[in-house]
């Protein structure tokens, strides 16, 4: 389905995904042979909406760019290869990708969602799909007993985010996938925080992987996009139908930027992890900080599970201030290298206040966030500069 391989002058499908090569090699080469018409080493931006046909119905695999575009094909093949998936589909945003997944469900079924889901995911479920009849229960997914308790005969979906946002709890993908499969439900994993470099949910049994490629996959805060990967051909066909029928597709330039970002995913993730580990360590010993949430800390409740299902622990760190919301707001305003902004996963470090920013729409719901919590997306700057920036901001609130 992401096919069109022949026209691109290389074998499509599993071979186009270069399965026998390592992750770093696939990031650079999967879906990206030299351009067959010019030899361009970098996949061109095919900025066209339509394609000439030789005669009615005879074309080279492309008819109209909502249905398929060569730059998007390259991106889809590359990201599918990174997730170890037979099929990949790119969307205009992470939420557009999520919307397509939720449209797979028949009417009036029940979904189990994380009780600390990404705010936009919660809004999409609670305000858009619930209005169309979807029932849902937010559950702490790191508690398998609570999942069993929330399960109903009509439960058709478990939506997993791990590490979760913003509390960075770790959820057992293999256990939830097994439970879902046993009971005929779908297990969908939002892999935005971990990326396929750190964690591959399909290999742990999940049915579908969701990404906001706006974050680590793109990696440079310059493009919004979404992605779905699955190993199941029938699911892929239904999702491809929705991608074309609803039309929330990324443009060729957005695909080019995301593909360019994905080439360096492995090296970026290693440095994100190094820097986040250093930041989590510093925060753990700072007197202004009441609690640090980072799966790489041995006392984190999900640490052992993270060691089993992740390669390393990621670039996201959150922490609670001893001085509560006032202190959190003061720190958020005081850092200089950590830019106060929503989003995450790019080269520059960001700080944000979930209760009033990314998770503001969750106020008054089961997903509301402690106002004393700050979330960091630890970037690729020099670690010592990041530590100094944060500790200077924290010293201000300690002195008050």
Ligand X SMILES: *Cc1c(COP(=O)(O)O)cnc(C)c1O
Instruction: Provide the annotated active-site residues.
Output: 66, 118, 190, 215
Q: How far is the CB of 192 from ligand X (least distance, A)?
A: 4
Q: How far is the CB of 307 from ligand X (least distance, A)?
A: 22
3-state secondary structure of 84: coil
Check binding of 94 to ligand X (CB under 6 A).
yes
| Piece in contact with ligand X (CB under 6 A), picked from 63-71, 115-123, 247-255, 322-330 | 115-123
| Piece in contact with ligand X (CB under 6 A), picked from 72-80, 185-193, 234-242, 371-379 | 185-193
Check binding of 272 to ligand X (CB under 6 A).
no
Which neighbouring-strand residues pair with 73? none
d(CA 339, CA 351): 6
| Strand 155-161 to 339-340 pairing | unpaired
- Write the CB contacts of 131 (distance below 8 Å, at least 6 apart in sequence): none
Check binding of 120 to ligand X (CB under 6 A).
yes
> With respect to ligand X, which residue has the nearer C-beta, 343 or 391?
343
3-state secondary structure of 79: helix
Strand order of the β-sheet with 339-340 is 289-293, 316-321, 373-377, 350-352, 339-340
Phi, psi for 167 (deg, rounded to 5): -90, -5
Half-sphere exposure of 143 (CA within 13 A, CB side): 11
Q: How far is the CB of 338 from ligand X (least distance, A)?
A: 17
By CB under 6 A, the residues from 40 to 79 that bind ligand X are none
Check binding of 118 to ligand X (CB under 6 A).
yes
| Piece in contact with ligand X (CB under 6 A), picked from 1-9, 91-99, 282-290, 305-313 | 91-99
| Piece in contact with ligand X (CB under 6 A), picked from 76-84, 176-184, 190-198, 271-279 | 190-198
> With respect to ligand X, which residue has the nearer C-beta, 36 or 120?
120
d(CA 156, CA 135): 10
Which neighbouring-strand residues pair with 228? 89, 210
Check binding of 215 to ligand X (CB under 6 A).
yes
Site string for ligand X, 222-261 (x = CB under 6 A): --x-x-----------------------------------
d(CA 186, CA 107): 15
Among 212, 318, 320, 335, binds ligand X (CB under 6 A): 212
| Strand 110-114 to 135-139 pairing | parallel
Size of the site for ligand X (CB under 6 A): 16
> With respect to ligand X, which residue has the nearer C-beta, 8 or 207?
207
Contact (Cβ atoms closer than 8 angstroms) between residue 90 and residue 226: yes
Residues that bind ligand X (CB under 6 A): 93-95, 118, 120-121, 161, 165, 190, 192-193, 212, 214-215, 224, 226
């Amino acid at each position: 389905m992401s096919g069109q391989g022949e026209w691109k002058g290389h074998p499509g499908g599993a071979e186009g995904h270069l399965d026998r090569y390592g992750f770093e090699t696939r990031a650079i080469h999967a879906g990206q042979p030299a351009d067959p018409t010019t030899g361009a080493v970098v996949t061109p931006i095919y900025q066209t909406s339509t394609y000439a046909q030789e005669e009615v119905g005879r074309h080279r695999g492309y008819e109209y760019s909502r249905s398929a575009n060569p730059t998007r094909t390259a991106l889809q093949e590359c990201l599918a290869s990174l997730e170890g998936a037979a099929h990949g589909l790119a969307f205009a945003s992470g939420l557009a990708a999520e919307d397509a997944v939720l449209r797979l469900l028949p009417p009036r079924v029940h979904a189990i969602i994380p009780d600390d889901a990404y705010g936009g995911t919660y809004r999409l479920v609670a305000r858009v799909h619930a209005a169309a009849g979807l029932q849902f229960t937010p559950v702490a997914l790191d508690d398998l007993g609570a999942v069993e308790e929330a399960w109903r005969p009509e439960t058709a979906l478990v939506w997993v985010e791990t590490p979760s946002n913003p509390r960075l709890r770790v959820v057992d993908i293999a256990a939830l996938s097994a439970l879902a499969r046993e009971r005929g439900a779908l297990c969908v994993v939002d892999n935005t925080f971990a990326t396929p470099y750190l964690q591959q949910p399909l290999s742990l049994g999940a049915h579908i992987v969701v990404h906001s490629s706006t974050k680590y996959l793109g990696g440079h805060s310059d493009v919004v996009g979404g992605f779905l990967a699955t190993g199941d051909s029938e699911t892929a066909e239904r999702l491809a139908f929705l991608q074309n029928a609803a039309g929330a597709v990324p443009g060729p330039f957005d695909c080019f930027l995301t593909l360019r970002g994905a080439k360096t995913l492995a090296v970026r993730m290693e440095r994100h992890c190094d820097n986040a580990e250093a930041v989590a360590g510093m925060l753990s010993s700072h007197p202004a900080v009441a609690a640090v949430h980072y799966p790489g800390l041995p006392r984190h409740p999900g640490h052992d599970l993270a060691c089993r299902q992740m390669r390393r622990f990621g670039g996201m760190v959150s922490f609670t201030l001893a001085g509560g919301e006032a202190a959190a707001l003061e720190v958020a305003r005081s850092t200089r290298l950590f830019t106060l902004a929503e989003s995450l996963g790019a080269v520059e470090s960001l700080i944000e206040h979930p209760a009033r920013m990314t998770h503001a729409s969750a106020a008054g719901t089961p997903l509301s966030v402690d106002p004393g919590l700050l979330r960091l997306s630890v970037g690729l700057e020099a670690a010592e500069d990041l530590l100094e920036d944060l500790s200077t901001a924290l010293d201000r609130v300690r002195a008050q």
